[in-house]
Amino acid sequence: MKDVSKQRTIALIAHGGAGKTSLAEAFLYLTKVTSRLGSVAEATSVLDYEPEEIKRKSSLGSSFHSFPWKKHQITFVDTPGGENFLNDTRTVLYGVDSAVVLVDAVDMVKVSTEKGWGFADSLKLPRMIVISKMDRERADFFKTLESINESFASPKAVPVAIPIGAEDSFTGLIDLLRQKAYIYDAAGKAAEEDIPADLTDFAAECREKLVEAIAETDDALLDKFFEGEELGVEELEKALTKAVLECKVAPVVPASGAKMTGLSYLLDQMIANLPSPIERGQVGGHPLDDPAGDLNREPDPASPFGALVIKTIVDPFAGQLTIFRIYSGSLTPDSGFLNVNRGQKERFGQLFALEGKAQKAIEEAGPGDIVAVSKLKSTQTGDSLTDETAPIVFWACQPMEPVVSFAVEAKAKGDEEKVFAAINKMTLEDVTLKLNRNNQTKEMIISGMGQIHIDATLEKIKRKYNVEVILKSPKVAFKETIKGKVKMQGKYKKQTGGKGQYGDAVIELEPLPRGEGFVFEDKIVGGVIPRQYIPAVEKGIVEAMVGGVVSGNPVVDCKVALVFGSYHDVDSSEMAFKIAGSMAFKKAFMECQPTILEPIMLLTVTVPEESMGDVMGDISSRRGKLLGAEGHGKKQVISAHVPQMELLSYSPSLTSMTGGRGSFSMEFAHYDEAPAQIKEKVISEYKPQEEKE
């Protein structure tokens, strides 16, 4: 079994276009894992391999690979940076021990980087920062560093190296602690040199700031620093590693994946400062029968096996590929484990290491490894896999809630089952994708993280399952109710050649408080309607309510009392009284000031303070009622009741108002009376349909 102390399992985090995939491709090429330098722009990347990613020149999902460096093994996850796919980033962070955060030297800190940093914060992941694309025109290391410090309070971003040159003249870097310069050739090989004369004083000044920042994390070093003692390189490096592990400091390094500049130094720093599974320590969870309990696993190959599923890939031909991070113990092919969440024993054949699109069969895996097995029966993303004798439920990521929804239907008649089966398979692969049926509107609703997310999903469905889908705006589930009270008779009398039909019911209809539903009261006395026909009257009323009276939407919040009626010894029947009840209800409804109710959502919006006024004004313009706002650091959390129909396109609007820094969630709150113009529109749209029927 390999030495776990030599294992590094990291995630690359950044906004889209910051160069994560390009940097990862450069690592693979530098370490001779690949024979050519993969390029996203030229569609030769081994990491962005899905056709949808190649088309957009952007990562839409996490991909995995590993490479050796100086007797260490580095397993990495190249995460997506697009807003629509951040849940994938958030989920796979549970499978790594640290993160390398890239910030573009031109574009600086963007929204997705802020969110990725926040995800890492929540998991207390040690971090390094790469100021990437230093070869780009207008690249500025120190201006980007300012942007980082303005955006991220902790861990403190501290340069351990500064660039030599920028843009076309970015040729190397200066190691501040050792005061050495490294100049890189086109193949990424570094030559150690003296610091250029014009940078000597500046490098010394930067070193002094670095030494102070490291000393501030250790009381003993800080005392020596203030007493003017010289701090040795080795003790500073040791203190820096400890500070990174404790999330006090994030070392900053300049680099360019395209020019292969700074990569070897960056890899050395990753090995020196980012933790192994052993240094990261115990992994937490809870007993299956006690969610509030506390249980831990040691990252030791000799411990009971334990792993967390961080991604699922579904292929129509190869089946399901389950990707998991091993926290403890070891695993070999042709074995099995217990899926603790589902109480199912799972068995598998081959064990794979992931190499982008490809999988390589391996004979053993242990703590720190991210591996895959195929064709498990019931395992899904977020499940804990353990030894049967030592079950534990590891802490896992809860999926983000979808923010956009569309009604979905098959483009070709007869493909309905194929479409919905395909979408259901995609929901196994993508936990933020939801498919539900709206029982009132009879629509199938697909929900996701944004328009790009839905579009990319439908492109995958077409490619993988050969079915096409049409998207429409979902219908709003309105309801009908009344505001008045009336007494009304419904008499159904039909005479044919033989036995006729006769039913006579008199009802009182009145409104109930909002949310009370429906109440039926039997007030028949003296046997004017035989007991066996009274349930038929109620059934006729209920069926009339389901179909609606003025708009085709269900009726709610009303009380019906059956007060009088009559019957015929021969002609009366359950069907006749059912029709009589329906007739009485519909006539009464039209006399009781009918109105339309619309669904009201509880909207919770998290925005930067500077966007608060715009967002609150926009909510008011959507007929929203503000409930309050609370400060959470630099963010404000606004809550409001807003009609659902005003929120169908809220996601892009919020993105525009907040520069992508806002997020929201919503849930059903209650129904409320719609304004006159909405009521008229709903009723008028129903009439042509009613006439057609």
Q: How many degrees, rounded to 5, is the angle at CA 70 between CA 65 and CA 75? A: 20
Going edge to edge, which strands form the sheet with 358-362? 344-347, 336-339, 384-386, 306-315, 319-328, 370-374, 351-355, 358-362
Q: CA-to-CA distance for 680 and 211, rounded, in angstroms? A: 72
Q: For the segment 318-348, what is each residue's pLDDT rounded down to a tens digit?
A: 789 999 999 999 999 999 999 999 999 999 9
Say which residues have a Cβ less than 8 Å from residue 220's Cβ, sequence separation at least 6: none
Q: For the segment 462-489, what is each residue's pLDDT rounded down to a tens digit?
A: 999 999 999 998 999 999 999 999 999 9
Per CATH, domain 283-394 is 3.30.70.100: no
Q: How confident is the model at residue 441 (pLDDT cuts 50, 70, 90)?
A: confident
Domain positions in the chain are: 4-280, 283-394, 404-472, 480-593, 597-677
State residue 34 phi and psi, 5-degree precision.
Answer: -115, 155
pLDDT > 90: percent of the chain: 82
Query: What pLDDT score was predicted for residue 542?
Result: 96
Q: Look at residue 691 and tell me whether its pLDDT is greater than 70.
A: no
Per CATH, domain 597-677 is 3.30.70.240: yes
Q: Look at residue 572 and tell me whether its pLDDT is greater than 70.
A: yes
73, β-bridge pairs: 7, 68
Q: CA-to-CA distance for 187 and 26, rounded, in angstroms? A: 10
What the block records as the tokens of 508 is 């009182």
pLDDT > 70: percent of the chain: 99
Say which residues have a Cβ less than 8 Å from residue 49's Cβ, sequence separation at least 6: 63, 356, 357
Q: How many degrees, rounded to 5, is the angle at CA 666 between CA 661 and CA 672? A: 135
CB 606 within 8 A of CB 663: yes
Nearest to 188 by CA among 23, 66, 20, 10: 23
Which CATH architecture does the domain made up of 4-280 adopt?
A: 3-Layer(aba) Sandwich (3.40)
Q: Look at residue 692 and tell me whether its pLDDT is greater than 60.
A: no
Q: CA-to-CA distance for 74 and 10, rounded, in angstroms? A: 7
Query: What pLDDT score was predicted for residue 40?
Result: 87
Q: Domain 404-472 carries which CATH code?
A: 3.30.70.870
Q: CA-to-CA distance for 557 and 670, rounded, in angstroms? A: 12
Q: For the segment 111-124, what is each residue's pLDDT rounded down to a tens digit?
A: 889 999 999 999 99
Q: For the segment 584-636, what is each residue's pLDDT rounded down to a tens digit?
A: 999 999 999 999 999 999 999 999 889 999 999 999 999 999 999 998 777 89
Q: CA-to-CA distance for 274 and 587, rounded, in angstroms? A: 75
Residue 383 CA, chain-centre distance (Å), reads 16
Q: Domain 480-593 carries which CATH code?
A: 3.30.230.10
Say which residues have a Cβ less than 8 Å from residue 44's Cβ, sequence separation at least 6: 36, 38
Q: Look at residue 497 and tell me whether its pLDDT is greater than 90.
A: no
Mean pLDDT, the chain, integer: 93
CB 374 within 8 A of CB 346: no
Q: CA-to-CA distance for 189 and 424, rounded, in angstroms? A: 49
Q: Do domains 404-472 and 597-677 have the same CATH topology?
A: yes
Query: What pLDDT score was predicted for residue 228?
Result: 83
Query: What pLDDT score was predicted for residue 689?
Result: 59
Query: What pLDDT score was predicted for residue 1?
Result: 64
